[in-house]
């Protein structure tokens, strides 16, 4: 049997998936399009218990209003529906998403977002179709087609997005420079212990800090980096640096954060260069 049958089957299945997805998106029937995106307000922030699990996020009581009926709901993040709330203060606005007509089926979003058109999966399916075609070309005509097929579009996308990425990194570096510094305290260290199938036990420690902003808002936040010894950090006094424009952006070590973003920018540029070079090698070797 001719092996080409398998890529044809591959492309057929994922092509159909992509078409169905795009069709649903055009008809406004994707999950993202049917999701109601309400704005919730944190009414109360719970005190974290030392040694408890970090997976459910900071305990919060959130109120939101269903835009279609106007009905008010008060809920908690019991069981951690949706994204984990890792920075909380009374009055913070977060996203509350739920299918139309089912506010009880809500999920929290740590940040407010407009939501898309639900094209993520169809685009992924289209990528798989493209990958199948590149593999066929590489087998039939040689490995340079694999380099060109995969690295070419990747390099073009990288070059297209590079200016935006650099602007974003620069903005974050600027944000770091404008951060306010206030005293804070590690009030608890949360612990999550898990054992894998081979019997290896891994422990994850998440310190929780509290601080009061310059304008008087009490913030509770998970702080997974910046402490040398998280296990023994309960009760430790620390200096918190936060962005006044968005209290959710905070760090204990501004310099480390700055180095991290600079390294990230360099990796971004080098990555684009490497991928572009691979694509050029593919073209030359054709």
Partner 1 sequence: MTITTVAPPPTHRTPLALARGFLTGGVVGTSLAALVVGGIVENVPLFVTGLVLPVVYGLLFLLAGVPRRAREAAVVPCTALAMIEGLEAVGGESSDIPVRFELTVAPDDGPAYRVEITQDINLVDLSDYRPRGVVVVQYPPDRPWRVRIVKRPTPEWEGRVASARLDSAPGTARVAAPPEGRAFGFVVLLGLLLGAVVVVLPFRADLFDRNDTAKSPSAAPPSVSSTSSTTVVSSASGTVALGPGRSFLDTGELDRAVGSLTTGGDARQALTVVVQEQLLSVVFLPTGMQASGFDLRALPYDRVPALVEEATTTLGVDSPSTWQITADRLTGGVAVRVSVTGPEGTAYLEADGQGKVVRRVSAGG
Q: Residue 181: which of 232, 260, 237, 141 has the closest Cα?
A: 237
Distance in angstroms (rounded) separating the CA atoms of residues 255 and 178: 13
Q: Which of 35, 65, 76, 86 binds partner 1 (CB under 8 A)?
A: 76
74 touching partner 1, by CB under 8 A: yes
Could you tell me which residues are beta bridge partners of residue 193?
203
Secondary structure (3-state) at 211: strand
* Residues 162-191, mask of contacts with partner 1 (x by CB under 8 A): -----------------------------x
Output the smallest distance, CB 223 to partner 1, in A. Answer: 19
| Footprint on residues 44-73 left by partner 1 (CB under 8 A) | 44, 46, 49-53, 56, 59, 61
* Residues 225-264, mask of contacts with partner 1 (x by CB under 8 A): ----------------------------------------
Q: Which two tokens stand for residue 64?
A: 């939101």
Residue 254, Cβ neighbours under 10 Å: how many? 15
Which residues are CB-neighbours of 147 under 8 A, at least 6 positions away?
A: 278, 279, 281, 282, 285
Total residues binding partner 1 (CB under 8 A): 30
Distance in angstroms (rounded) separating the CA atoms of residues 217 and 179: 16
Q: Which is nearer to partner 1, 61 or 280 (CB)?
A: 61
| Footprint on residues 1-30 left by partner 1 (CB under 8 A) | 1, 6, 9
Burial class from Cβ neighbours inside 10 Å (0-12, 13-18, 19+) for residue 212 reads middle
C-beta separation of 162 from 272 below 8 A = yes
Output the smallest distance, CB 212 to partner 1, in A. Answer: 23
Q: Which of 25, 30, 77, 220 binds partner 1 (CB under 8 A)?
A: 77
195 touching partner 1, by CB under 8 A: yes
90 touching partner 1, by CB under 8 A: no
DSSP symbol at 49: P
Residues that bind partner 1 (CB under 8 A): 1, 6, 9, 44, 46, 49-53, 56, 59, 61, 74-79, 99, 101-102, 104-105, 191-195, 201
């Amino acid at each position: 049997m001719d092996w080409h049958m398998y890529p044809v089957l591959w492309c057929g299945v994922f092509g159909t998936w992509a078409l169905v997805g795009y069709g649903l998106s055009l008809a406004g029937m994707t999950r993202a399009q049917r999701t109601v995106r309400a704005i919730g307000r944190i009414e109360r922030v719970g005190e974290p218990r030392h040694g408890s699990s970090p997976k459910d996020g900071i305990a919060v009581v959130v109120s939101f209003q269903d835009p279609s009926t106007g009905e008010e709901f008060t809920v908690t993040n019991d069981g951690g529906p949706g994204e984990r709330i890792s920075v909380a203060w009374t009055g913070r606005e977060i996203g509350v998403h739920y299918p139309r007509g089912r506010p009880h089926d809500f999920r929290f979003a740590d940040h407010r977002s407009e939501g898309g058109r639900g094209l993520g999966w169809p685009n992924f399916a289209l990528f798989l179709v493209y990958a199948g075609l590149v593999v066929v070309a590489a087998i039939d005509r040689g490995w340079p087609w694999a380099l060109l097929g995969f690295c070419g579009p990747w390099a073009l996308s990288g070059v297209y997005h590079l200016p935006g990425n650099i602007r974003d990194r620069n903005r974050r570096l600027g944000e770091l420079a404008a951060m306010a510094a206030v005293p804070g305290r590690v009030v608890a260290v949360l612990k999550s212990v898990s054992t894998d199938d081979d019997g290896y036990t891994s422990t994850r420690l998440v310190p929780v800090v509290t601080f009061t902003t310059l304008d008087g808002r009490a913030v509770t936040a998970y702080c997974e980096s910046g402490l040398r010894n998280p296990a023994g950090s309960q009760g430790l006094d620390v200096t918190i640096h936060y962005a006044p424009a968005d209290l959710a952006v905070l760090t204990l070590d501004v310099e480390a954060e700055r180095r991290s973003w600079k390294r990230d920018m360099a990796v971004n540029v080098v990555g684009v260069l490497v991928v572009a070079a691979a694509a050029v090698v593919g073209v030359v070797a054709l």
